[in-house]
Structure 1
Amino acid sequence: MLDKPIRKRRRLGYIGMLALCALLGLVVGFAAALIDTFGGPATDALQTGLLTLCMGIVVWICVLWWRAADEAVREAHKWAWYWGGSAGIVVVILALGLVGWDVIELAPTVLSGEPTELIMTGVGLTLGAQLIGYLIAWAAWWLRHR
């Protein structure tokens, strides 16, 4: 078995990656505003293309970051996404049950009741619950292993 040389420390680091993602967000936001203003009949197609391109860049950034992360960081994120994301899904399933039994009302009254608005609300609640669960699990993992 051939030993590979130890990889150099990543150049950007954590703050650099955050800055890169923030810059990407600003560029995409500016481009989306330009498309809204000047897109005309092709606005939907241009915005779909912009979103697809942006998601491809985000995945590429994540792959670069993951390759540079050490084993402890990788394990913390895997553990947090599994347990925290799963806990977030459990919260959403419980909320869905409570909504189905008319115990609570989750659809904001400002929505028109259109299916797309209701779906986006559900997606937002689900991702939000998973993210909160992830952050709690990630912090717990690091507190236990420090």
Structure 2
Amino acid sequence: MTKQGIIVGAVLLLALPAAAEELAGADIAYIEQSDCDAIAVHFPGGADYVPGVAADGSRVAPADLGGGYAYGLRPVYEFDMTLDPLIGRNPAFSSATEMTVARVSIDMTTGRTTIDGHDVSGANHALAEACARLHHKPVK
């Protein structure tokens, strides 16, 4: 192979990803009812408890009177995932082989889950959010 052939091949290889990206265009997704029906994570709006609002949206006296305990869900849960490859094999080494393999974080307000800081909620989460916006009905 000649020097000129190598240069032409290198230029073509470098240009291919740019051309493919240009042909792909923008990522636009159109959400329809059939998409929403296909996922199990979608809950139509209006199922959440709202103090002072009845199920039909009319105003009522709030049921959350004081005097109870004020413990609620934490906004974020974090924990380490551990692996113990020799557990049950040799009792002498089982405690020495336990290792942390990942840090998991779950945000209870958004539903996002991350492993070592990388979002693993997936496309279904984005689709569920779009379906929720599609069916959102404001409180009367």
Say whether the fold is shared (TM-score over 0.5). no
Q: Which has a greater percent of strand? A: 2
Q: TM-score, normalised by structure 2?
A: 0.23
Q: TM-score, normalised by structure 1?
A: 0.22
